[in-house]
Structure 1
């Protein structure tokens, strides 16, 4: 990527574009929001940050950006505390609160003010407006923006300094499907350029498509971390589904082989105790006809719910009973 002549940042080759936290802790009075967590967010990857509401995601991101001070531990970006970076916007781009904008300014004026105050050539403003699809509304006051447009403007501001580290807190919030797809492709493109991309989201399906690695947090503690497939595999089991007109015979044969099964519906068996190939071999050995044999892989959503089930701040009760017929008609 090109260097901005007035952007007082060291040459790219001298940077270590990563985020590193060591024993990071933040308490607010008696409440511990972040509880002695350590992690490294590597360059060239999209790292998804997952956790229930109140788990400590936003607090962690604020600590990275120097907006809150740790009670204990440290967190550094490019090997430095955020407040010690010589040109922060040119090294770290962040979207933490899309609503934190000056409503009376236009999108162009907002970005121009950021560019001038950070020594970034103002020609970059038009580049990020075009990149985020905001050129048609560049002169419109921010207070008239929809939530999705505000998200795009926040992302434009994060990209303004052409940084090597990007931190996005719920960047797809308020975006339509096309906007969600655009964020996904943008994050992937930035990571492919060797940048460090750290992104939180509640959309599990989107994280499964976007992230390379995951960091899952609950009640301020790291629950697990690693490549997406490994996180899913560590928390769930694949299910083998088999359909047969001889389901009872197959269940008996599998049980004899030490493989327990369930029968979710007539003529269908499921098991998590053996791969599909083993089930097929046993069926063949007993001359049992199969109509279906498939492996159902667990989703990221299933893994997430399994990992965080005991760490949610609020748990929903059972569904309310239906209203009596008379009340429902009222």
Structure 2
């Protein structure tokens, strides 16, 4: 019997979001079986109920079944809506790309006249994606000063769902630049579907850096130890912080490879941070890029955070009053 995740994965193959009658039935059955499985784990408690209470619980289970049928319908309709609106977004994203890169000009701008030489050379919106990302708190922490020159060549960012394996990928398109050969850098997230999506692993494009241009490493010069016969400085290459480390995500060890608890916790934190960056780009930067570029989204994000904090604070105050 297929579980909920398997049914949804089957429904997503080849972009299909409408469940077949068989898939609908399987989804409802899966949800029902899940509930019955939980009940089976607590048979001792049920057996201790009086006949009248047990009868009431049976009716509650019937109500739960109806709820699960509605939940299955919600999942189906939500998937269909997401696909529908992603298709509606595409022409808008294409138009945005044309304006940002200077492929198309907007109404009201004419060539010649009072244009300066700088105006004539300046196409589109320079540093659009760089500034959009820098105005986001999560991404700003990842971007170093030395990254900025390379990110000025960023032409577009887009994302799409992946079906096999299930997850999503983010594509960064770059102009020809002096830092690396790649025209596209891709980050792919493989997810384990369940009640809540869980990150299984992430894969990034290997960046083909030009000699001496690698931004994820730096050359350091160290003095030789005191008393050493060799007085020449030691030249070493060390890893360093960079936004482009995003394309070298933390790797999950093989199943047969044992790791200690501290290492496991550190790996989990790294994976959570990596997913946070990816989901921020997917859910905030791409759909609201111009608002992040202008800083408007930054203010809205701040306001929503303040509102959430105020609501949480109010809840805490109410709890304190009740305790008194």
TM-score (norm 2): 0.25
Answer 1 or 2: which has greater helix percent.
2
Q: Which of the pair has the greater relative contact order for Cα pairs under 8 Å at 6+ separation? A: 1
TM-score by length of 1: 0.24
Structure with greater Cα Rg? 2
* Larger relative strand fraction: 1
